[in-house]
Structure 1
């Protein structure tokens, strides 16, 4: 169950990268909403991986 949620978070972060990078590259602006979503996902991920010995290389990257 935890691994399933970690996979969902990883996929959500991958989708957010376009929302984060496109405005920065094109108009030099920051999409605050996308960053807020990213920080929320990272906080949840931090809780899930606490104490884990093995973490997906793709997720860490």
Structure 2
């Protein structure tokens, strides 16, 4: 799983080196999902992280 994160970060660096204004939010979201899975987070916990709110 670490390799997936490293590869995504490398991808962001390559894109940003070509164009610092390029939108990489989609890749960042992919990294987020990998981290959520790595820590086995539940939907409620992900909502707190992403929205700053608990909807429980």
CA RMSD, aligned part only?
1.8
| Separation (CA, whole Å) in 1 of partners of 2:35 and 2:23 | 18
Large movers: runs of 4+ above 4 Å: none
Partner residue, 1:45: 38
Q: Mind listing any 5+ residue stretches in structure 1 that lack a counterpart?
A: 1-8, 49-61
Normalized per residue, which structure has more helix?
1
Question: Relative contact order: is structure 1 or structure 2 higher (C-alpha 8 Å, sep ≥ 6)?
Answer: 1
For normalisation by structure 2, the TM-score amounts to 0.55
Q: Mind listing any 5+ residue stretches in structure 2 that lack a counterpart?
A: 42-56
Aligned residues: 40
